[in-house]
Amino acid sequence: MTPTTRVVVTGLGVVSPLGNDIDTFWRRLVAGESGVGPITRFDTDGYKVHIAAEVKDFDAEDFIDRRQVRRLDLFSRYAVAAAKLAATDAEFDPRPEADRVGAVVGSGVGGLQTLHTEIDKLLTKGPDRVNPLLVPMMIPNMGAAHVSLELGAKGPLSATCTACAAGSDAIGYAARIIRHGDAEVMFAGGSEAPVSPVAVAGFAAARALSLRNDEPEHASRPFDSGRDGFVIGEGAGCLVLESLEHAQARGARIYAELAGAGMSSDAFHMTLPDESGKPQARAMTMALKEAGLEPSAIDYINAHGTATSAGDNAETKAIKVALGKHARNVAISSNKSMIGHCLGASGAIEAVATVLTIVNSLLPPTINLTDPDPACDLDYVPLESRFQKVEVAASNSFGFGGHNVTLIFRRFDG
């Protein structure tokens, strides 16, 4: 293998606020359905925010042995489920060639559910009642670890913890592992389960969350002048990445090619993006360079699009800087208008959506975009999905601390 090895996508798995299988997720996404509703995970009395994009109808025992489930935080359960769904979709069993199969799974915050539960136990019942598995359930690498354990993958294993860019970061890293010959197949994505008291209270205190509690389905409004913050979401996404040679040798169905990945840093602010958009544009430009493509090749961008003024405005500028005049010709949409902001899982879930956009020649809409912010003056596919052939698509992910990642997928025609 060499750094020029082509990397393709052969399997997709998703656990999301719109559904826990690819068909349901995609059908509801292109229909413009919202996955946002009242929080059911805990009592929100006394909280400023009462809404979230929760995963529904998820049973971890469909994927993990009953005795093992309670040893995993919810974010790890989501990660395992998405990876197993992706393995089934790819018709691939890692065990016969376990040493050449690895995993990279990102998470921004790790096991917050467990951390909250055990701190409460510590304060009310004392230190002797704390779960001895607290640490291995909480730490952000355990999503990746449990994917490896459950699948029997013994190749390269890692975890990215780059805030809201973690899922995309994991996919880009996994592709480089394949290109450098350290694995033939990688399970790559992100997982997050942050709908917990501490996360909701923390983001609300930072004034980052929407307060549209009375109309949750209209709360996430990327690029709209009436937006008032993001809606917290949860879930997991996983891609099966393979070297082209390996995929063709086993006769795998190929969804698309992961042509390039770029990353950069704002070095600007702890939470705010660089308002010039230049650092984010650099990640896009680096991804294009790795893919060997000109800006004019981009047909569609799955935007980070969180529904914060600072973030949406900076991303709009970044697209203009990276693509120049071509920015006016590119269709852009934000899945977060429907699935909320799934933090470290968002880039992975959105990567799944981006691949399906190419496969189906159908652009998901940005719902709730009824009054565009004058500063956001590009084509954001408002309100309704749109049929359009897509040869090349980019997916942007930007995270607290200045982490910027862009993935570029290309239609695979042999």
Confidence of residue 413 (pLDDT cuts 50, 70, 90): confident
- Residue at 47: amino acid letter: Y
Beta bridge partners of 236: 15, 191
- What is d(CA 78, CA 220) in angstroms, rounded to the nearest whole number? 23
pTM over 0.95: yes
pLDDT digits 0-9 by tens, 383-398: 999 999 999 999 999 9
In angstroms, the first-to-last Cα distance of the chain is: 19
Closest CA to 12 of 398, 412, 359, 394: 359
Neighbouring C-alpha atoms within 13 Å toward the C-beta of 263: 15
Determine how many CB atoms are found less than 10 A away from the CB of residue 95: 10
Closest CA to 147 of 237, 58, 66, 234: 237
Cβ-in-10-Å burial (0-12, 13-18, 19+) of 123 comes to exposed
CA distances from 128 to 71, 72, 73, 117, 136 (A): 18, 20, 20, 14, 17
Q: What is the pLDDT at residue 1?
A: 40
Q: What is the pLDDT at residue 3?
A: 58
Cβ neighbours of residue 11 under 8 Å, at least 6 residues apart? 86, 87, 88, 89, 90, 91, 92, 238, 239, 240
**Residue 411: helix, strand or coil by DSSP?**
strand
Marked catalytic residue, from 146, 246, 304, 403: 304
331-333, strands of its sheet edge to edge: 157-158, 101-106, 185-192, 235-243, 7-15, 256-265, 403-411, 392-399, 300-302, 331-333
Element (H, E) at 239: strand 235-243
Share of residues in the chain with pLDDT > 70 (%): 99
**Structural domain spans, the chain:** 7-249, 262-411
H-only helix segments in 152-243:
166-179, 197-205
pLDDT digits 0-9 by tens, 322-370: 999 999 999 999 999 999 999 999 999 999 999 999 999 999 999 999 9
Length of the chain: 414
pLDDT digits 0-9 by tens, 28-73: 999 999 999 999 999 999 999 999 999 999 999 999 999 999 999 9
Is residue 78 a contact partner of residue 84, using CB atoms and an 8 Å limit? Answer: no
Marked catalytic residue, from 146, 161, 238, 341: 341
Q: Do the strands 300-302 and 331-333 form a parallel or antiparallel pair, or are they unpaired?
A: parallel
Share of residues in the chain with pLDDT > 90 (%): 97
- What is d(CA 87, CA 49) in angstroms, rounded to the nearest whole number? 37
pLDDT digits 0-9 by tens, 243-295: 999 999 999 999 999 999 999 998 999 888 889 999 999 999 999 999 999 99
Beta bridge partners of 366: 382
- What is d(CA 279, CA 398) in angstroms, rounded to the nearest whole number? 10
Neighbouring C-alpha atoms within 13 Å toward the C-beta of 307: 33
Is residue 305 a contact partner of residue 233, using CB atoms and an 8 Å limit? Answer: no
Q: What is the CATH number of domain 262-411?
A: 3.40.47.10
H-only helix segments in 232-344:
244-249, 278-291, 309-323, 336-339
Average pLDDT value for the chain = 96
Active site (annotated) includes residue 341: yes
Q: What is the CATH number of domain 7-249?
A: 3.40.47.10
Active site (annotated) includes residue 238: no
- What is d(CA 20, CA 235) in angstroms, rounded to the nearest whole number? 9
* The two three-digit tokens of residue 218, written as one number: 């209209």
- On the question of a common fold for 7-249 and 262-411, the answer reads yes
Q: What is the pLDDT at residue 28?
A: 98
* The two three-digit tokens of residue 169, written as one number: 């970061």
- What is d(CA 116, CA 96) in angstroms, rounded to the nearest whole number? 39
Q: What is the pLDDT at residue 272?
A: 87
pLDDT digits 0-9 by tens, 214-231: 999 999 999 999 999 999
Phi, psi (rounded to 5 degrees) for 88: -65, -45
Closest CA to 322 of 374, 396, 387: 396
Confidence of residue 414 (pLDDT cuts 50, 70, 90): confident
